[in-house]
Structure 1
């Protein structure tokens, strides 16, 4: 049984250095670092940058066909929707958050990157 629900995942995302919550569109909650989104926070899923290319992000869909899907609008850029409480283990979801965060931070100008402990 998964312990990682939407609230726990939100807390995990927002505990990252420089992370903050935003609601850029009514009803849509995201986690940002700098001015860039690294996680789209849903009630039963999370949208994450799962690879630099669509081909790499598709590995999630091949491994978890019932719980991973191409994210609407930004999927062509390697973003996937990962379902919480399904077959994807909690530690892999946390790793996916870590990777999405790291990818977004790396693209920020050095002057806007958060201090890491």
Structure 2
């Protein structure tokens, strides 16, 4: 596991209500909020939810950003954690994914995340 994978997992862990889950066995790690996935880690990548327009822009801008592997390619990006993105860029993508998923949760769940 690379340093960028480890730091990304730690960053996700610090999101309000974030929970680590292993729904497919010992690997891969899935990060959830309110029972919904917002990040999916493999050995060298992270798959994140993304607004479709932003997803296309990120794929054009960064060689490390590809359509979501085994996911709805319109709404998910797989980001190779090869060091080509800065921590700030990666954290911004994680924030966007978390915010999209959290915004779709019920009002009661969203309010509980804020406390």
For normalisation by structure 2, the TM-score amounts to 0.87
Equivalent residue for 1:61? 59
State the shift of 1:4 in Å.
5.1
Q: CA deviation at 1:85?
A: 2.9
Cα distance change on mapping 1:69 and 1:10 into 2, 3 Å: same
Runs of 4+ in 1 over 4 A off after TM superposition: none
The match for 2:72 is: 75
Structure 2 CA distance for aligned equivalents of residues 60 and 79 of structure 1: 11
Taking the aligned partners of 2:3 and 2:97, their CA distance within structure 1 comes to 17
Is 1:106 the counterpart of 2:106? The answer is no
How many residue pairs align between the two structures?
Answer: 112
Structure 1: runs of 5 or more not aligned? none
Matched-pair contact (CA < 8 Å) for 2:50–2:100 = no
